[in-house]
Chains A and B, each alone.
Chain A
Amino acid sequence: MIADLVVLLLVVSGTVMTLISTIGILRLPDVYTKAHAATKSSTLGILTILLGAFLYFIFRHQIVSIRLLLGIAFVFLTAPVAGHLIIRSAHRRGEPLADISVGDALGELKTRMTDPSREMEEGAEKAERANREQSEQT
């Protein structure tokens, strides 16, 4: 009875977390923000559902299912890596950020790494602009 209650609690909480992650995928504006919803909370939800099934087989049948344990470990290892891969290749592909995003540190770093002259040009432009503003003031 109590074991069944624990199993139910784990399964229901996992389902609710997966549902929340789906709502996040539907609502968020961007690939990068959608990946937050899709990888983190979905992984946690699936992990709790699998843990519930594992405990159910232990309590009901006295089976310690090694395959289920292996599945838990595998999902726990691969789901964040897969999300990271998708986002990495999306950023390399030049996928645009949402309008409300504040900064793109990786993109700035990449332009600076591949094209060091651009930084110099930017610096020169900035100095020129400052000069012009000063001359306008005077």
Chain B
Amino acid sequence: MFAAVFETVLLACLFLLTLSIGASLYLMFKRTTTIPERVLLIDSFSYIIIGLIAILSILTDTDAYVELILLIGILAFLGTIALSRFMERGVIIERERDDR
């Protein structure tokens, strides 16, 4: 009986996290959203997806998905760095630095 409750609560958590991804997607495609807000939304997507994978690995009872958490974390961090540098100057890798 308790196992059924456990699964139901975890499924409800999955639903709520998906709902928060959906709300962020709504904001992503709204016209008044500025570009830094969109970068912030992409960043928060990846963290919500990490949480989804953790709950999914509890539900399916394997630790095979755990590598995905590391992978998505690293990819999200690098992507955020690249996007914020692009947003700031229009280039990602600077060849000639000016002293500012």
Contacts and interface: CB of A to CB of B under 8 A. Distances in A.
Interface of A: 1, 4, 7-8, 11-12, 14-16, 18-19, 21-23, 25-26, 31, 34-35, 38-39, 42-43, 45-46, 49-50, 52-53, 56-57, 60-61, 63, 65, 67-68, 70-71, 74-75, 78-79, 81-83, 85-90, 92-93, 95
A35 B44 CA distance: 10
A89 B88 contact: yes
Interface string B45-78: 0011011001101100101001101100110110
B88 A75 contact: no
Q: Chain B: interface residue count, which band?
A: 35 or more
A80 B17 CA distance: 20
Interface of B: 2, 6, 9-10, 13, 16-17, 19-20, 23-24, 27, 34, 36-37, 39-41, 43-44, 47-48, 50-51, 54-55, 57-58, 61, 63, 66-67, 69-70, 73-74, 76-77, 80-81, 83-85, 87-88
B87 A4 contact: no
Nearest to B21: A22
A42 B36 contact: no
Given A22-B20, A25-B41, A93-B87, A86 B69 contact: no
B84 A85 contact: yes
Nearest to B39: A86
